[in-house]
Amino acid sequence: MTTPLAQLFKKTQSENRAALIAYIPAGYPTQEGCKAVIDVFADAGVDAIEIGFPYSDPVMDGPTIQEAANTSLNAGTGAKEVFDALAHATSRGVPSVVMTYWNPVEKYGVQEFAESISSNSGSGVITPDLPVDEAQPWKTACAESEINSIFVVAPSTTDQRLEKVTAQCSGFVYAASLMGVTGARSGISSGAKDLVDRIKKVTDTPVAVGLGVSTREHAKEVAAYADGVIVGSAFINALSGADSLDSGIKAVRALVEQLALGVREGRG
Amino acid sequence: MSTSSKDQIDTRAGHFGQFGGRYVPEALIGALDELEAAHNAAQKDPEFLAELAHLHKTYSGRPSIITEAKRFAEHAGGARIILKREDLNHTGSHKINNVLGQALLAKRSGKKRVIAETGAGQHGVASATAAALMGLECVVYMGEEDTKRQSLNVARMKLLGAEVIPVTTGSKTLKDAINEAMRDWVTNVDSTNYLFGTVAGPHPFPTMVRDFQKIIGEEARAQVLELTGKLPDAVLACVGGGSNAIGIFYDFIKDKDVRLIGLEAGGDGVETGRHAATITGGTPGVLHGARSYLLQDENGQTVESHSISAGLDYPGVGPEHAYLSDIGRAEYRAITDAEAMYAFSLLCKTEGIIPAIETAHALAGALQVGRELGKDATLLINLSGRGDKDVVTAAEYFGIPL
Ligand SMILES: Cc1ncc(COP(=O)(O)O)c(C=O)c1O
């Protein structure tokens, strides 16, 4: 099985750079606005897109993404909008995945969810609150639908457990840069590099770093040791801080352009 | 493995049939493993058990007594009604049983800080109390709505030296307080233990909290046998997350002839959608780290619960209850706000005991079940807490000017 996401990492590795992975929740700031953001991602240099499934109880997320999820949920976003956004992203030729807490997947139907990812040309799903110990039915569904299952590991994950979790990951391994929740921060935690080094010892699957990455400098720093750089809250801040959708989109474009430079500078 | 069905019994630790487990960020797995190991070791350590028993005896007031409620029983079909008096514990409810155990564990593990979530404030007060006793820093997360509904308990926690953080996200109630406590824990896991207040959440919490609460049923079973010479026909308790209910049920599970009946918060009535009757009116899914029943919409988003009782106002329920319901060992019924408040007032006037409004749901269940079983039956009710904290709510409900 090879997905567009897996092919992307082959390409960026051959270019000796990191991939830029951008997150946006479906339905944020509106469903149309989300698609406009996806268009900018595609045009301005994002390598892969994560569509967030907004959830009522997001324990891995800090205030920025919580508020975006609330805005989106209040507008009625559900599975339909998530797959609509996914289809839009993949139609632009960008390898794309969905990031979702587990309960919406169970409610939708585990096999059905994997199948809908596949039928909308998605590459896989990131499941931040599904430990591999509970993931057997999901792994089976992903295998049947030929999509990637991406699990998150953290600085607290032991070496022994890293081996177990990364063995279940395909596409990439999501390395949480710090112990904490999503949200833009002033610097990258020193634990991030240590974690990536430990992951690289137990798997050949590409490793992408998320949590707290928000500037070109951060992207450059992370790109020095990781295969992918994940940015989320910084885009939401750009959109929520703007006085119109247009100016928000402009701010997103400027940020993407900066980050795209960053992921190419790290190995310099 | 195919998809899990309820006929496939999952025998891994922390699983109750298809329910339970651990659905949490990977960052917490290490801490949960550590907690599980600490708990398992403590349960086998005579020194730990002796220390906890000493606290029960000299601090929280165990064993709690049983009281036969003869005048109340006249309204319950004449059945014999026996109350297990957890309301007489220090801090006024069963919550102290769990918190003393968990705080002792935290101290043994060298943690200096504990965090807790609270709805009604009873678990927060119990946590603040145990933290003061053991010299631990304590932070309590409480939904902003609940800090207003239960302002007296906020003051109590502060007097006890705890920091109370009002949670303004989501529905601003218990479920959001749990989310915020989880976020704190992910961030501060090295220094901090999370004192979880009920038998929900990721493994080991449902098992650990049950182990600290099962003393209620162990005592009550012996006390009822001594008083009546036989086992009760039914054991009743209110169910929020389910800790006082599992606490009194657990030692009776082996007694197949004893009916176990959990009373959920029916709010305005399950048919109105405004309720917190998770097993009666919910569906299986994952919330706060475990698979169980929950109130959710067609997209798997948690739906807000409603109850006059802040301590039962929770859209989830412990996984062991979900399992006991599925296998038919325990029954769950919904009691409306109005039924609960009737039973509340009745206990006040017939027995001179002001119960917590949570507990009043169990008492309303006793009125129903007593009438169904008649005067030869004996019912054991968990009187999980006292009603001091609810005086304002009750006065407003009954139109008593303050
Ligand atoms: C007196 C009392 N009873 C019952 C409950 C409900 O919790 P649980 O179902 O875990 O016993 C609470 C919760 O605050 C309570 O204060």
The percent of residues above 90 in pLDDT, for chain B, comes to 93
Residue A77 near residue A31, CB atoms below 8 Å: yes
How far does chain B reach from its first CA to its final CA, in angstroms?
A: 61
| Cβ <8 Å between A180 and B187 | yes
A78 touching chain B per CB within 8 A: yes
Residue B145's pLDDT is what?
87
Residue A1's pLDDT is what?
66
All structural domains of chain B: 16-55+95-209 (3.40.50.1100), 61-93+214-398 (3.40.50.1100)
Q: Which contacts of A83-86 are long-range, i.e. CB under 8 A and separated by 24 or more positions?
A: A83/A116, A83/A117, A83/A120, A84/A26, A84/A31, A85/A24, A85/A26, A85/A27, A85/A31, A85/A34, A85/A35, A85/A38, A85/A51, A86/A26, A86/A51, A86/A117, A86/A120, A86/A121, A86/A122
**Band of residue B390 on the pLDDT scale cut at 50, 70, 90:** very high
Q: For residue range B61-106, what is the model confidence (pLDDT) as tens digits?
A: 999 999 999 999 999 999 999 999 999 999 999 999 999 999 999 9
Give DSSP secondary structure letters for B313-355: --SB--HHHHHHHHTTSEEEEEEEHHHHHHHHHHHHHHHS--B
**Contact list, B296 vs chain A (CB under 8 Å):** 103, 107
Asked whether residue B6 carries a pLDDT value surpassing 50, the answer given is: no
How far does chain A reach from its first CA to its final CA, in angstroms?
A: 33
Active site residues of A: 50, 61
Residue B10's pLDDT is what?
65
Tell me the CA–centroid distance for residue B335 and ligand 1, in Å.
15
Angle formed by the axes of helices B337-351 and B357-373, nearest 10°:
90
Choose among A102, A152, A146: nearest CA to A124.
A146
Domains of chain A by residue range = 4-265
* Nearest CB partner across the interface for A152, out of B26, B169, B296: B26
Domain A4-265 has CATH 3.40.50.970: no
Residue B7's pLDDT is what?
45
| pLDDT less than 70: residues of chain A | 1, 268
Tell me the CA–centroid distance for residue B346 and ligand 1, in Å.
20
Alpha helices in B255-336 (DSSP H): 278-281, 319-326
Q: For residue range B331-368, what is the model confidence (pLDDT) as tens digits?
A: 999 999 999 999 999 999 999 999 999 999 999 999 99
Q: Which residues contact A104 (CB under 8 A, 6 or more apart)?
A: A53, A55, A79, B299, B300, B301
Averaged pLDDT for residues B7-23: 84
Neighbour tally for A10: CB within 10 Å: 11
**Band of residue B239 on the pLDDT scale cut at 50, 70, 90:** very high
**Band of residue B9 on the pLDDT scale cut at 50, 70, 90:** low
C-alpha A238 chain-centroid distance: 17
Whether omega before B63 lies within 30 degrees of 0, making that bond cis, reads yes
Averaged pLDDT for residues B371-386: 98
Question: What is the token pair recorded at B317?
Answer: 């329920």
| Cβ <8 Å between A106 and B286 | yes
Residue B2's pLDDT is what?
37
B182 touching chain A per CB within 8 A: yes
Choose among B88, B104, B99: nearest CA to B121.
B99
> What is d(CA A104, CA A85) in angstroms, rounded to the nearest whole number?
16
Residue B286's pLDDT is what?
98
Choose among B338, B351, B349: nearest CA to B381.
B351
Q: Position B4: which residue type?
A: S
**Band of residue B11 on the pLDDT scale cut at 50, 70, 90:** confident
B32 touching chain A per CB within 8 A: no
Asked whether residue B208 carries a pLDDT value surpassing 70, the answer given is: yes
Q: What is the ipTM of this complex?
A: 0.95
Q: Which residues, listed in sequence order, are joined to residue B332 by a DSSP beta bridge?
A: B262
Residue A82 near residue A38, CB atoms below 8 Å: no
